[in-house]
Amino acid sequence: MLQFIKTLWNICLLRGGPQDVPYSATLVTAIVTIHYCLTVFFIAWTHGISNGLGMAAMLVGVSFAAIFLVLRMRKVPERFVQTVSALFGTSIILSLMALPLLIMVATMAQMAGGSMIMLGQWVGIAVEIWILIVAGHIFRNALAIPLFVGVILSIGIALLNAIVVRAMMGGV
């Protein structure tokens, strides 16, 4: 397991790719389950648990569909398991890495106000940018495309997810 975490960390540092992740249905199931639970936690933090359960399921489903569609269009659907493992696994690592900092900033914001809230938002944005770049790197390797195109693809999937969440909240 430690070797797998090291592999994911190397991908986070853009030193590895999804091809370095073991092809395992059990592993991808575990990663998706952990990612789902973490997503529920983050959504429930601001929108309640009942919203978190449904939104997280929809986000995982939309991401699955988008990833599968893109891989199929490039005629490499056999890369789905490793691509999903790499995308969701690196997202877990980066989110867990940022979580203590986000909690600290949120706590400080409650005590200090404005400037701490702004710092928390900047931390969140920085983590999201890193996640998008790492996702772009993963797509670059999985699809044999330039990094820039991979990042655009990851932004597109993120926007699609945002539209879905917005629609679920009744505000499209």
What contacts 50, CB < 8 A, 6 or more positions away? none
Asked if pLDDT for residue 167 goes beyond 90, the answer is no
Q: CA-CA distance, 105 to 93, in Å (whole number)?
A: 19
Domain count, the chain: 1
Query: pLDDT, tens digit, for every residue of 23-71?
Result: 999 999 999 999 999 988 887 877 778 778 888 888 999 999 999 999 9
Report pTM. 0.88
Q: CA-CA distance, 8 to 28, in Å (whole number)?
A: 13
Task: Residue 140: count other Cβ atoms within 10 Å of its Cβ.
Answer: 21
Assign 114 a pLDDT band (cuts: 50, 70, 90).
low
127: containing domain: 2-168
Assign 168 a pLDDT band (cuts: 50, 70, 90).
confident
Give the per-residue pLDDT at 110: 67
Which burial class, exposed, middle or buried, applies to 56 when counting CB atoms under 10 A from its CB (0-12, 13-18, 19+)? buried
- Angle at which helix 114-143 crosses helix 49-73, to 10 degrees, equals 30
Give the per-residue pLDDT at 158: 93
Q: What is the mean pLDDT of residues 153-161?
A: 94
